[in-house]
Structure 1
Amino acid sequence: MENNIDVVDEISSLLDSEKYKEALSLPNNVKFAQSFKENCWDLISIIINKVHDDTIILKPSLHGACEQLLNLIVEKATPEETLLEFIEQVEVAKNDAQFSIILTPLQQLLERLKAKRGRSLEWCLNSISTYIETIPTPEYFLEQKERLLMDCDNNIRRVVKVYSLIPPFYKPFIAELKREDNVKVKQTICAFLVSLLGKPIIYIDLDPDSNAQSEARQTCSTIIDDICSLEKNVLKFLFYIEECSKEKKISRLNEDSGEELSAYENKDKINMTSLAGLFYVVFSGHFNIMDNAIPQVYSIEYIVHTSLLAVNNLLCNTEYGPLSKALSLCKALLNRLPNIVTYDVLSIPVHFNLLKGLVNVAIYSNYVVIRKTAVNLISVHVNKFQYKGRCLLIKYIFEIANHSGMIGYAITLYKNSINEAFKNPVLDECFTGDQLMYMVRKICHLPHGAQSDLVELADQIITALNFLRYLILKDTLNQSGIKNNFSYIESDYLENLRTGLNLSKAHYEQKLKEIENKNYTQQGVDVSINVGGNTLDNIPIENKREILHSALNAFHLIEGLVARLSECINISKTSVNV
């Protein structure tokens, strides 16, 4: 009868009946040994499927029995065939407990197959990557001290837990390389490690100020140390950033030579996101990096301009994790540049792309701290250049930023630069003549003339008026040629502005009267308010009243600035006549 027993069903039944000793004794029973060996393939999936995330807590004996049975399979089964089944089970694992219980037997099989390992290690690492990719990307909207709560996010906890399991798995194979160097194996492992620094870890907060002792940071430190020990020169990966930026399609096989590409040319592993994660860890200053892993023979310009390609890639994200890493890396890279960079460098498009990314983040990011950091980095970036370079970048902000506050900030950057330039014996030519005239027209731009929405443009208008008054008072000798722009400023800008102010004030005062009218509250007449192109309906009366008063206050402020600017222009004209 015993010979007719289906070993797979029997072990499954014994495990379900909590008869763990009997289940473990079956493989060592002479009568079932051969059947056990022949059915290992089916047994692997049956045993693994008994394990759930809570098994080790609720049924520790079951978890232990499953571990021991998998070890017996490793001992008794044919290694090559068993390895393939374990690899498949990694990819289809239903939970982290199953993933975890597979890693040890998988490692043992790879060690047994050292002489005939071939591409088995690569397949194993690929299966691990496949499982990691199934973990949902962490999403959280927490800032400042609230970020400490991110560790409670289930997806973050999953990522951290899974990542902590990986170094013990690959460490023995790195140890082997120290004894017997193998370039292909080294690149296979190293490419895998670089890929780990991309998704999903790039979405997790690794800032030492908020998560200094976090397990995620410790795992990342282990990974980067292992990358540096495998590749003595970690900056060699800058080349692959360049390759990725070209968006060159790389096939698995080189069609020209028929040779297989190296692991570093596998874009599933070495892509812009994983490389961005790598160089964030290397350059941000958030991690300790081996000194000998960063050779000093590379030019600073090459390092910065190439790494900024990865920054620009991260700035395209909207999540906190990638953006915070992009800004940290960006700050570190800009600090590496000399304080005065020639404008010729702007022939490299990476700087304009960086500025565009920073502007978009500064305007549209959901996170206050991210927006503020981006604004600060715009200033740092622009001010790294000589005056001509600064003007080119500021002009670019005018072109791409359809946002009053950002254009106002660009005007402030221009004002600060020209104020700095006045300290020199001769004013730089980029602040004079036709170049100044071009900037004045950009600064004094009202998109729809007198019909422009002055509430929406308030920040830009206030900054522009203050700048013009500053320059007229500062440049008494007319070095810049600002006085040559008086006619345009008065007729095209201030005249339209006065007309627009009169129209806007009358409109908003009328709306306020409608709200204040006694019949309004009695009859429930709806008053529609349009601000910045958006109609504000269904909001409390008090809020509408506040919006109207705020707009009228802005109009009064602009009106006062217009009067002061007109006075400055008239005084300046008089001094010319004298």
Structure 2
Amino acid sequence: MAKELQDIVQKCQILNEEEFKGGDFDRFQGAGKKCLEEGYIVELLEIILNEKNKVIVKCMGWNLVGPLIRCILEYKEDDIERDCCLKILHKLVELCNPKELVLSFLEQIEQTSKERMSQTVLLVLKPLQKVLLKLQRNKAYSMGLSLSTILNQLSLLPVPYTVQQLQEDRHGLCHCCNALTDFVNPFVGEVVRGMEASSDRDCKDLKEELLRFCLKSLKYPLLMADFEQLPEDTIKHPLRQFAADILGILLDIRELIPKVVPQHGCRNQTWDNEGLLEIDQEQSADSLACLSYVIFVQDFGMNYFPLVFHPSFILQCNMVHVQVLLERKEESVLSKGLDLLESCLLRLEDNSLFLQYLEFKGFITIPQDLVKVMTLCPFEPLRKKSLKILQLYINKFGDEGKYTLFRCLLKTSNHSGVEAYIIQNIKNQIDLSLKSAKGSKCFTGLQLISLLDMVLSLPEGAETDLLQNSDRIMASLNLLRYLVIKDNENDNQTCVWTELTKIEQNFLKPLHTGLNMSRAHYEAEIKNKRENKRESHTSKTICSVSVAGEKMPTMTTEMELQVLHSALFTFDLIESVLARVEELIEAKTKIAPEENTGVK
């Protein structure tokens, strides 16, 4: 086969470059490919290195890039044949048309299998870089196309998550990412020099492509990476290094601060993401959110961040990013959203945010997003953390802000446990206000009445599902008990005594009726189950139960009876607190008239 290639070369040696025909290209490629496949690599190298064949190689050699790369991947690192193939590749890069070579390299990256993706990328990057640097025209476009193609293919690889996965890097993603930063460094240097010298178009185009690369890298793999996995005594986190490199590129091309701090206000509007060109809105939102996380949580680039910005402004800028992260389902992304919000809040003093901040984008919806994580997220550590951050968020607002947040969350949470938590917060704020010499207008007096109306009521009157709403009901009763004990009728600082008739009508009486109805229903269910159990003469009868419209795992009759008895116990608990509240009200209302009579 080497003889066939030699014959083709000898024929073409006597022709001028413009005399080469399509058939000559096909025969050269076919013969060269067979040389590689059949092991005539040394012979092929001799033909490629022969100075007489320089014009032929220059015109036709790019056709061998694909077969050559596939051949290199088959050999081991120390094989002589692999070394010969690399020399051939080096010669092709030196002689062939850069435009044709770029397309050939990218074609190989697109066509390679997932199993060989990282090997192919790592093999191609260095020669591809050399080819791109040789381009005089359309360098920015070719570089952008190359980076886009590589990142698109790498996105097929899973992001290593655990310590073991990071250390093994089985798919080679970490190696590829760190090699990519070496790949773009010369182009970053060109942009930096171009910005210092002038504002030519080539410099701007290269800068735009580098910006695209950075934002795409932030979306994948950095958005999905867990930067907290590796302990300090293990290897360095390779993706942390990649994140640091990406921030370094953004800093060098003067795009770091503009992408972190918007050039306009944040008041109830979405970022325009100007300058992101063809990058779609969703991708840019994810990328910028990840960028903020890397800066404010991982502390990359904070040395270059202006200290003049107030912590409240930093929070304001990041709320839209937090919202983007908390809307995702992946554990690593949700964790980034919680960490970013926590980092921003910890910079603030308690009670430092005014009510007006709730008019800014995200400030009123973020607490609702936290509630969704608390109640729906399948990852327990994130549920617990979101509860902790919700309290931290509440603490940062002044009285008016807290008051508005409480009303909003009571209306929107639709979760008994969350509502109970908010009611406990309301109780704490009332307690602080009663103990304060000045008191709060929001948590005492007439303004408190509308909040009490929301708390001291049943969502659906006597028809309310008391079992499903038991947490909220218990919290409401405890709040009412506290108000009756702490606020005397003569003082009436909380207006609870003014509103007592309404409270009895909207809360206490319907609760009595609901308890009687619920108890009767569950006692009848227990009686029915027991009768069925006696009829079947076994406690292993399988039953199906639905809760909140969802079918629960099958239970035996004995298990179902335990559930029903547990419900009755909950009703007993509610009833005991209800009775205590009514006793306190009766005692207080009896004392007051007697005192009044004595005065007369």
Deviation at residue 441 of structure 1 after TM alignment = 2.3
Rg larger for: 2
**Residue of structure 2 equivalent to 1:167:** 181
| Distance in 1, Cα, partners of 2:266 & 2:127 | 37
- Corresponding position: 1:24 with 2:38: no
| Aligned partner of 2:570 among 554, 563, 566 | 554
Question: Which letter maps to 2:291?
Answer: L
Taking structure 2 as the reference length, what is the TM-score of the superposition?
0.83
| Aligned partner of 2:339 among 328, 331, 356 | 328
**Residue of structure 2 equivalent to 1:491:** 505
* Superposition pairs of residues 81-480 of structure 1, within 5 angstroms: 81-94=100-113, 95-113=117-135, 117-135=139-157, 148=163, 151=166, 157=171, 159-181=173-195, 184=204, 185-207=206-228, 213-231=236-254, 234-239=257-262, 262=275, 264-268=276-280, 271-284=284-297, 286-289=298-301, 291=303, 293-339=304-350, 340-476=352-488, 477-480=491-494
Give the conservation status (yes or no) of the 8 Å contact 2:215–2:284: no
Secondary structure at 1:199 match in 2: helix
Give unmatched runs, 5+ long, in structure 1: 141-146, 251-260
| Aligned partner of 2:92 among 73, 78, 98 | 73
Secondary structure at 1:557 match in 2: helix
| Aligned partner of 1:42 among 42, 48, 63 | 63
Deviation at residue 391 of structure 1 after TM alignment = 0.9
| Distance in 1, Cα, partners of 2:63 & 2:146 | 19
| Distance in 2, Cα, partners of 1:393 & 1:60 | 69
| Distance in 2, Cα, partners of 1:177 & 1:232 | 12
Deviation at residue 499 of structure 1 after TM alignment = 2.1
Higher mean Cα deviation, 319-328 or 431-440? 431-440
Question: Which letter maps to 1:200?
Answer: P
Deviation at residue 243 of structure 1 after TM alignment = 9.7
Give unmatched runs, 5+ long, in structure 2: 10-26, 596-600
User: Structure 1 pair 312/71, CA: closer, same or farther in 2 (3 Å)?
Assistant: same
Give the conservation status (yes or no) of the 8 Å contact 1:7–1:32: no
Deviation at residue 430 of structure 1 after TM alignment = 1.4
| Distance in 1, Cα, partners of 2:564 & 2:90 | 75
Higher mean Cα deviation, 470-479 or 84-93? 84-93
Deviation at residue 235 of structure 1 after TM alignment = 5.0
Give the conservation status (yes or no) of the 8 Å contact 1:244–1:272: no
Give the conservation status (yes or no) of the 8 Å contact 1:469–1:568: yes
User: Structure 1 pair 51/520, CA: closer, same or farther in 2 (3 Å)?
Assistant: farther
| Distance in 2, Cα, partners of 1:60 & 1:439 | 79
- Corresponding position: 1:3 with 2:3: no
Secondary structure at 1:429 match in 2: coil
Secondary structure at 1:231 match in 2: coil
Question: Which letter maps to 1:281?
Answer: V
Taking structure 1 as the reference length, what is the TM-score of the superposition?
0.85
User: Structure 1 pair 282/118, CA: closer, same or farther in 2 (3 Å)?
Assistant: closer
- How many residues align? The count is 555
Higher mean Cα deviation, 25-34 or 560-569? 25-34
User: Structure 1 pair 159/573, CA: closer, same or farther in 2 (3 Å)?
Assistant: farther
Secondary structure at 1:426 match in 2: coil
| Distance in 2, Cα, partners of 1:151 & 1:242 | 40
Question: Which letter maps to 2:248?
Answer: D
Give the conservation status (yes or no) of the 8 Å contact 2:462–2:511: yes
Secondary structure at 2:32 match in 1: helix
- Corresponding position: 1:575 with 2:575: no
Secondary structure at 1:200 match in 2: helix
User: Structure 1 pair 278/24, CA: closer, same or farther in 2 (3 Å)?
Assistant: same
**Residue of structure 2 equivalent to 1:254:** none
Q: Give percent identity, aligned residues only.
A: 26
| Aligned partner of 1:481 among 495, 504, 507 | 495
| Distance in 2, Cα, partners of 1:245 & 1:545 | 53
User: Structure 1 pair 300/266, CA: closer, same or farther in 2 (3 Å)?
Assistant: farther
| Distance in 2, Cα, partners of 1:152 & 1:557 | 54
Give the conservation status (yes or no) of the 8 Å contact 1:411–1:464: yes
Deviation at residue 247 of structure 1 after TM alignment = 6.1
Give the conservation status (yes or no) of the 8 Å contact 1:308–1:333: no
Larger relative contact order (Cα-Cα within 8 Å, sequence gap ≥ 6):
1
Question: Which letter maps to 2:483?
Answer: L
| Distance in 2, Cα, partners of 1:421 & 1:20 | 87
| Distance in 2, Cα, partners of 1:521 & 1:538 | 19
Higher mean Cα deviation, 455-464 or 566-575? 566-575
Deviations 1:66-86 (A, max 9, x none): 544332221120123322333
| Distance in 2, Cα, partners of 1:507 & 1:530 | 16
Deviations 1:407-455 (A, max 9, x none): 1111122222222222321331212344322222221332332222222
Give the conservation status (yes or no) of the 8 Å contact 1:421–1:428: yes
Deviations 1:157-192 (A, max 9, x none): 554343232112112223444555365234432442
| Distance in 2, Cα, partners of 1:280 & 1:222 | 15
| Distance in 1, Cα, partners of 2:284 & 2:504 | 54
| Distance in 2, Cα, partners of 1:68 & 1:488 | 91
Deviation at residue 107 of structure 1 after TM alignment = 0.6
| Distance in 1, Cα, partners of 2:134 & 2:507 | 81
